Structures are given as C-alpha cells and as structure tokens.
Amino acid sequence: MRIDPAVDLAIGLVVGVVVLATTHGTPHAAPLDVTATLVAAVACLVLALRRRWPLHTFLVSSVAAEAYLVFNHKTANGMLILAAPLIALYTVAESASRRRALTIGVLAVSAFAGLHMLAKPASWLGAENLALAALGGLAVAAGDGARSRREYLAEVEARALRAERDRDADARRRVTDERLRIARDLHDAVGHQLALINVQAGVAVHLLDAQPVRAREALTHVRHASRTALGELRDTIGLLRQPGDQLAPVDPVPGLTGLPDLLDTFRRSGLAVSASGLGDALDLPVPVDLTAYRVVQEALTNVCKHAGAVAVHLLLQRSEEALTIQVENAPGTPGRPAAPGVGLVGMRERVSALGGSVESGPRPAGGYRLTVVLPLEAR
C-alpha cells in the first residue's frame, strides 16, 4: 500500500511542532534559536522522503536530531526530537530484510547511546538511554512486523490467484475431457450403425433390379439401423442438456450382455460372425464391460467398412487378471475403399484408460487380427 508523501510530510510537521513547543514553549525553557529550529526542521521534514530513500532519510534525520540535542543540551525536553529518526528507523525495518533491519537498529541505538554517554558520562544507564534502547527496539520490531504482514498478504493473494487459475484450468480440462468422451461415445454408438447403413444401401442399389426381394431386405436393415442410430444419437445428445431442461429418456449403457443382439445386426448386414467364449463375459466390472462391448462394436464395424461381407471370428477369454478379446476376419474386397477414421484411435484411448493394451495387424494367412487385453482391476 502506497502512502502519499504529503502524509509523511504532515507527520514530520507534527513531530517538529511538538518538539519546538515542548522545548521552547515552557516558562523556563531556552529561547528559540534560528539554527536549532532549522536543524529540527531538517530532522522532521526529511520524513517526507522516508519511503523513497528510507536509509538515507534515517541517517539525515539522526544526524540532524543529534545536532539539535547539542544546541539544547541544557534541557531534557529536546529528547522528543529523537521521535523523527525512530520513525525513519521503523521505515528502514519495514523495507529491509530482518537481518539488515536488526543490524541497523542495533548500530543506531548503540550510536545514540554512545553519543549521549559521551555528552553525559554520569547517565550512561540513565532513563534516557534505556528509553531510547526500548523505543529503538520497538521501532525495529514494528517495522519488521509490518513487512512480514505485507509479505504474508501478498503471498495469500498470490496463492488465491494461482488457485483461481488452477481451478479455471481444471474446469477447462474437465470440459475438454467430457467433450472428448461424448464424441467417443457418439462415434462408438452411431458409427457402426452408419457403416451398416452404408453397406446395406450399397447392396440394395446393386440388387434393386435383379433381386428386388433381397434389395427389400437390405432396405429393411437400413431402416432398422437408422432407427437405432437415431435413438442412440438422441440419448447421447440428451446428456448435453442444461440443468433444468426436461430430461431425455436414456436407456442403460450396453455391456457384453447385449453382445448377441449386436452380433445379429452385423450378421444381417452380411458378415458371417462366429463367436466363442461368450460365457466368460459375465459379472465383469462396469468399466471393463462397457469398454469390451465398444471394442467388439468398433472392431466389427471396421471389418464391415474395410473388408466387406467376410467371415469373422470373435473370441473372448477370461483369466483371473484380464479379459482378452480377439477379432479375426478373412481377406475381403470391399466395393469402395473406406476413408481413414479415428475408430482405432478412440479404441486405444478407451483401452489405455483402463490400463489395457491393443495389438492389431494383418494375419500371416491373410485378413486382419485385433487383440485387446483389458485388466479386470481397471484403473
């Protein structure tokens, strides 16, 4: 907190008026001397500069105060002039480090006491020197306390600002994570349905004239898949509603218990899907159950997009520590190459979040193999 130099100048004027009044305003006091008055004015009015040059102000005020005492050595009332250098000593202690403030304080009080002892050898342990030592120590302690409080308040304010920045950064990170999670869920929930729609629509176009019955079946699958995709899209978007909005009905999140229905949808699209080990996929932890379902969903969707209607085998193996998912497909020749997507990247993110691993690549005999290991004690 900055204080106007006019306030310090007013403090110096008050000290100077009090000193002159108590020294020369009593009936038996010494007459007012012009030189002593000028010296007293220097000792007091220099306090206006105490916050800009604290040490220099203290030295000038101390020398001027001692000079004033020399001019008025016959009266004891002039000791009040030492209030000016004590105020300057307080400012030194407030602006300097504790060690430096203590050093300056001890040297200053020792110098004052030594000068007074030389002037009055009989009173080196008198009340004046004891009071000067006590007031000097009080000025240093008060200045050090003010400095410590100022530093404490500055640290508290800095911590509050850091906490606010960290809170804002954490909120932004949470928003980003939630947005990515919703985008991943949307991709997993709707992406495979759209892939099926694309495949079945291509089949319908190809068979519309030659085999209208099969084309009608393909269009029925398109209708069913689009209805399912719209429902899952509605449920996912419903999560983005603001508080107070009417809640959309959300079905339970699917797990491996819904795997038979999922496989049937792909079989209707033309994939020859076989599965083994479905009985090992019971009583799994919820995160593992959901992630395993999404892995199978994404893997079969990728087969449908990149290999077409081929034979696919799904294997689930459960041990005491992990669930292994393996999806293998025979070589295929899709009608049109699929554009590269982010399905495998999202799958790796899901699996990595649980501490699992993903391995994928072509098989030696042709086709493609995906192997995912999910620890049952997920992070």
Nearest to 84 by CA among 53, 51, 50, 115: 50
The mean predicted confidence, pLDDT, of the chain is 76
Rounded CA-CA distance 135/130 in Å is 9
Question: For position 249, what pLDDT does the model report?
Answer: 45
Instruction: State mean pLDDT over 67-85.
Output: 71
- For the chain, the straight-line distance linking the first and the last C-alpha, in angstroms and rounded, comes to 50
Digit-coded pLDDT (tens) for 223-278? 777 777 767 766 666 655 555 544 444 455 578 888 888 888 888 877 889 999 88
Question: For position 333, what pLDDT does the model report?
Answer: 55
Cα–Cα distances in Å, from 292 out to 130, 264, 324, 360?
84, 17, 9, 16
Rounded CA-CA distance 258/253 in Å is 10
What are the DSSP calls for 242-281, one per residue?
PTTSPPPP-PPPP-GGGHHHHHHHHHHTT-EEEEE-GGGS
Rounded CA-CA distance 20/80 in Å is 9
Digit-coded pLDDT (tens) for 28-58? 566 667 777 788 888 888 888 888 888 888 8
For the cut 80, the answer to whether the pLDDT of residue 141 exceeds it is: no
Which has the minimum average pLDDT: 78-82, 194-198, 286-290? 194-198
Q: Does the pTM exceed 0.85?
A: no
3-state helix, strand, coil split of the chain in percent (to 5) is: 65, 10, 25
The 10 Å CB-count burial string (b at 16+, else e) for 87-109 is bbbbbbbbbbeeeebbebbeebb
Rounded CA-CA distance 190/193 in Å is 5
Rounded CA-CA distance 144/134 in Å is 15
Residue 331: helix, strand or coil by DSSP? coil
